[in-house]
Amino acid sequence: MDTDPKVFVISGPSGAGKGTLTEILLKRVPSLARSISATTRKPRPDEVDGVDYYFLTGEEFKKRIKSNDFLEWAIVHDNYYGTLRSMVEKDLAAGKDIAMVIDVQGAASVKKKMPDAVLIFIEPPSMKELVQRLKARNTESAVELARRLKNAEAEMMLAKNYDYVVINDDVNRAAGELVSIVEAEKAKN
Ligand code: 5GP
């Protein structure tokens, strides 16, 4: 028998590997759909509108806040990010489990509105490793990099509010752990 669909919230500092781990998770757990967020951040060269994010102008985003279109929204690294209510409702109605890759403020809002949501925090093995990964990724300017590192420290302090913490020391190991958590939560009575 199918169980009720579940919401999984995945957070962690920029560069911890949330994106890569979530991609593996989505491939291994076919019932999971990733909620596509809206943002006012400019697209990175490899990002596609409607696939990675819905890229909106500040004006469009604020209009959608006024129309109550967001389940949650937050300002992260000086840009707006939000989860569209319609996206989540559509997937839940279709019986899909949902993976939301959102920041710590958004995770707290979702937990308040959906107490059954499962919160998973992805941590880098150390701050030193995080700095190296962010530099190697080379997608941010020096100013942006500094901002993301400063936020990382604040975010890591909030890991204790999460149901699970996965340390991304090795991608395959961490992905295996993430899949086990999701499968165990889905099998829970
Ligand atoms: P990036 O710019 O690297 O794609 O994402 C920056 C941060 O914004 C990450 O911590 C990411 O999880 C968070 N984020 C992405 N989408 C959302 C969202 O819909 N809501 C919230 N609150 N945070 C989000």
Per-residue pLDDT at 57: 98
The rounded Å distance from CA 127 to ligand 1 centre is: 19
Parallel, antiparallel or unpaired: strands 118-123 and 164-167: parallel
Task: Decide: 110 in ligand 1 pocket, CB within 6 A.
Answer: no
The residue extents of the domains of the chain are: 7-187
Half-sphere exposure of 13 (CA within 13 A, CB side): 30
Fold exhibited by the domain 7-187: Rossmann fold (3.40.50)
Largest CA distance in the chain: 52
Q: Whose CA is nearest to atom 5 of ligand 1?
A: 14
Per-residue pLDDT at 1: 53
Per-residue pLDDT at 53: 97
Distances (CA, A) of 29 to 24, 25, 84, 174: 9, 6, 22, 15
The rounded Å distance from CA 19 to ligand 1 centre is: 10
Bridge partners (DSSP) of residue 98 are 7, 33
The rounded Å distance from CA 23 to ligand 1 centre is: 15
Per-residue pLDDT at 27: 97
The rounded Å distance from CA 101 to ligand 1 centre is: 7
The rounded Å distance from CA 189 to ligand 1 centre is: 31
Per-residue pLDDT at 2: 62
Alpha helical stretches, state H, the chain: 18-28, 58-66, 85-93, 104-113, 127-137, 142-156, 171-187
Q: Whose CA is nearest to atom 24 of ligand 1?
A: 102
Report the amino acid identity of residue 185. E
Asked if 120 and 16 count as a contact pair (C-beta separation under 8 A), the reply is no
Residues of the chain falling short of pLDDT 70? 1-2
pLDDT in tens, 84-118: 999 999 999 999 999 999 999 999 999 999 999 99
Per-residue pLDDT at 60: 98
Task: Decide: 37 in ligand 1 pocket, CB within 6 A.
Answer: yes
Its pTM stands at: 0.94
Q: Whose CA is nearest to atom 21 of ligand 1?
A: 102
Per-residue pLDDT at 82: 98
